[in-house]
A and B are shown apart, each in its own frame.
Chain A
Amino acid sequence: MKKIYMDHNATTPVHPEVFEEMLPFLKDEWGNPSSIHWAARAPRKAIDDAREKVCAFLNCSPVEVIFTSCGSESDNLAIKGVALAKKSKGNHIITTRVEHPAVLNTCKYLEKEGFDVTYLDVDSEGLLSLDRLREAITPKTILITIMYVNNETGVIFPIGDIGKIAKERDITFHTDAVQAAGKLPLDVKSLNCDLLSISGHKLYAPKGVGALYAKRGVRLVPLIHGGHHERNRRGGTENVAGIAGLGRAVEVAARDMEKENERLKKLRDRLHKGLVERVPHVKLNGHPEKRVANTLNISFEFVEGESLLLNLDMLGVAASSGSACTSGSLEPSHVLLALGLTPEVSHGSVRFSMGKSNTEEDIDYILEKMPPIVERMRSMSPLWDEAAKKGGAIAFEKKSC
């Protein structure tokens, strides 16, 4: 069966160059990098080299990089670490309604622990108002945490401008750049951020490795207490192979990014245009321009996303959806609801996120297969009947699930 992977915002395959870089540390160079003897030398050097590469990628210095186990850990360490370190100065945190759960649920946890959190709204295209952000700041605000790129829609937030606002008010600023890494330049100086999270497996490194940039002078209470690893900010013997892989991955990303973005944007826009031409009642979710090149989030009204994904999967196409049915919860995507989509339209969203493996043939294949799938599912949908009769969407009473 044909296999097309269009879920790169969920995870990416390990790049062959990354794989090669990791191999020695899964085979012969198994030493503990903290040891004093011969077995430690190559692993220690691998970590140092990887740190240098991540520094080049982020434009920072080696003492400012903390290797972690994943993007979620980086987010947790940044947010809880700063909140705890600064709790004598204030208890107010500002974030947005469209963050990844790693940020949202960390903030919700801190609310239970006595912190106040402001969740900023976005507009119908998924954009933030910087005026609202300024208004939300209080003398008690200790942390602003706002994502660089939205994982569901691909919308880009103006992190440099947000960082400037934070700096003017002397507030620590963290950005979850997990979806931006490899898609946008990540210069922490021009982004004006104090902390920045990245994850390996979103940029062709393996799962199980991430990093947090923490500007010199930013105090963090560790999540994992232990040995002296990562300058006492993250205990635990290092994931040497993963870290070596991440180092190689950021090099490859920086090298290939510009060309790859150009290519992916063409593919993405071709898919979007083709779907709009072939399928009625589709709607792009997120700002059409202020968006990373690889992401297309599109709603097919009157049908449910999971059933579309199952049909696509049977034809070998891997994508994802903002439908509740794919997330294990009953509520549809909090991101799409925040954009003002009705729950039923949110349920009908599909996210195609492109990457290195995708080609024009992939797009043509989806453009051929998708219209009959939507048509068939609509022919079974009572909402489609109603809409056809009335010439528009029907209103249902609003209740929670």
Chain B
Amino acid sequence: MYSDKVMDHFTNPRNVGEVPDADGVGTVGNPACGDIMKLTIKVEGGVIKDVKFKTFGCGAAIATSSMVTELVKGKSLEEAEKISNATVAEALDGLPPVKMHCSNLAADALHSAIEDYKRRVAG
């Protein structure tokens, strides 16, 4: 039911873990629904230098988390903000329809981490 890309990212997830001394942390999802994602980012000069994830969830949740880290590493914050859940799903050659809503939260976690970063800078 999953694409080869999803299975690849599920089997060999990229950037698992937590960035030490993260500049922004984003946690989204609800374990009751079976998905929770935590994304940590390191920002230098407006660019996402490093990004890592930890996810409790199904195959789609893990693959989307892994994919979003690949998509944003080295990107500017502006570019990263444009990445949507749909972009992530597309980059994985699509997700099964039932997964589009429940497990496709990785971009939300990213945006939440960027917001956290901006709050910290402003604060």
Contacts and interface: CB of A to CB of B under 8 A. Distances in A.
Interface stretch (A62-70, A97-105, A124-132, A378-386): A378-386
Contacts of B57: 304, 307, 325
Given A325-B102, A383-B36, A383-B56, 13 more contacts: A304-B56, A307-B59, A310-B2, A324-B102, A325-B59, A325-B103, A347-B34, A381-B54, A396-B31, A396-B32, A398-B32, A400-B32, A401-B32
A379 B38 CA distance: 13
A323 interface: yes
Contacts of B2: 310
Given A310-B59, A314-B11, A380 B16 contact: yes
B117 interface: no
Interface string A364-401: 00000000000000011111110000000000101111
A323 B27 contact: no
Given A344-B31, A401-B33, A380 B54 contact: yes
Interface residues of A, number: 30
Contacts of A344: 31-32, 34, 56
Contacts of B61: 304, 307
Contacts of A310: 2, 7, 10, 58-59
A382 B34 contact: no
Contact of B32 (A314, A325, A384, A399): A399
B29 to A, nearest CB: 9
Contacts of B7: 310
A306 interface: yes
B33 A324 contact: yes
Contact of B34 (A324, A379, A399): A324
Contacts of B55: 380-382
Contact of B30 (A305, A325, A396): A396
17 contacts: A304-B56, A304-B57, A304-B61, A307-B59, A307-B62, A310-B59, A324-B102, A330-B33, A342-B32, A343-B33, A344-B31, A344-B56, A347-B34, A381-B54, A382-B37, A382-B38, A383-B31
A66 B17 CA distance: 58
Interface of B: 2, 7, 10-11, 13, 16, 27, 30-38, 54-62, 98-99, 102-103
A217 interface: no
Given A347-B34, A383-B31, A323 B58 contact: yes
SS class of chain B's interface: helix, strand, loop or mixed?
A: mixed
B16 A302 contact: no
Interface in A311-338: 314, 323-325, 328, 330, 332
Contacts of A303: 56
A330 B105 CA distance: 14
Given A324-B34, A347-B31, A382-B38, A306 B59 contact: yes
Nearest to B54: A382
Given A304-B34, A304-B61, A324-B34, A379 B102 contact: no
B102 A330 contact: yes
A330 B37 CA distance: 17
Nearest to B13: A380
Contacts of B32: 332, 342-344, 396, 398-401
B66 to A, nearest CB: 10
Interface string A176-195: 00000000000000000000
A327 to B, nearest CB: 9
A152 to B, nearest CB: 16
Contact of A399 (B30, B54, B102, B103): B30
Nearest to B66: A380
A325 B57 CA distance: 9
Contacts of A307: 10, 57-59, 61-62
A306 B56 CA distance: 11
B30 A332 contact: no
A325 B13 contact: no
Nearest to B2: A310
Nearest to A325: B58
Contacts of B38: 382
A401 B30 contact: yes
Contacts of B36: 382-383
Contacts of B62: 307, 380
Contacts of A398: 32
